[in-house]
Structure 1
């Protein structure tokens, strides 16, 4: 009876180790691989790829560096405040303080200077600063005063045999009082005499008599009147009435 040797069963670790040894032996005994030779065109394309990849890597690194510098160590940068870009509101002047116009704050061309005509018009029409509103018309009223007027009348108790009495009334129709006046009366003959003058002083020059007021009649109030009277003596029965009467060069009314 032949004795057949029994094969021992190998463990899993031994099987794995044996397979690895066989694979290593096969790789060592196999044919040597031939090196691949790159063509010149393939080398240029490969160099371009490497250059493009390097540029992309450099750009990515630069972008990363810029982001880090902008954000800073304290975290992401906060967006700018829109209100900070707006101009500040103009400050209001204090209550009661006069407003001052500054030429630097005014945009546009400078204001044209007024001509001589407009400047003189403002000087005449506008009152001075601080003057009352009604004082602007006062100079105009003073420069063109209303002239005085005069009227006369004759009365006689003896029908002209012993002379007659003449009364001259000086009136002021203007809005302001008038100081001083002159009345002239021309008689038909120089032989007629003036006597008993009241309210004035009389002087003779030929047949013309000039009357100037005394202290009681010198000032004629606004809207008022004063009166003078005198007697005419001589041959007054025929043609003895005054031929002319004037006040300050204006004819009197009878």
Structure 2
């Protein structure tokens, strides 16, 4: 039994992806045109890479919006295609698996067609569909009420003249009243206050000392005994001792394990889980995977990848303390027996599982 597996993380909800998988108009935009033939559907796959003719599709299992299983017949070939949708933190994970049940196929070309459709055209259609679901219309509401406008027409005839004369009389009376009020409330002129006459000061009478009165001899103060203050003896202060600062704990080495998620003719899908047992997050980690001769890495989830010869280097965000990071990658290998890489290491330490 030969199986082709493709998995991709999409930043869209499962309901939207389900529409793209099951509605004929949307399916034709990213995979192939289709039409209903009785209780079955005919996909126009003739001419697509890995397909030799149109494909007749029969629904085997339908559980919206989680799982869709189809039985596909293409000329003398029969396959079983399963699409599974799983919600994840930032969207959904789509897993597509096709198993050959009868006949033969070019699995490598067919896998390439699936990968291009699922990782290239499908995300573009989902973005377009998300844009179509946004309501960009604006309500154009008019006025909800109209206020009546009353024109102010000028008075005419004798009535107008009487009103003008009355208004002039009122203004004149108001002017006179205001003038009288100002006159009555004006401040009175102030006269300078008379300064009091200066009175000559009487000379101070000095009493002459009589010649017969004895002079008082001033007594000298007796010096008091002075006390000698004893200076306190200085006490030696203890010099402060320095407490050595605690050093941060040494970072624990990362550990990694490898697992082959699925394999197929001319390739497989691998997974590396990087674990951080330490008490602090670990940035700047590196995972290296050594592939076989002429093997190349395809789509990668969970890290950035660069390939230099057979060695593929993965780097990514910091691994949280006590947490892990998962890397999944597709490998195309011309060796029919290859189901895993030849080597795997994280920061130089070998991965478990190989």
Normalized per residue, the structure richer in strand is: 2
- TM-score range (shorter-chain normalised) is 0.3 to 0.5
How high is the TM-score relative to the length of structure 2? 0.32
Normalized per residue, the structure richer in helix is: 1
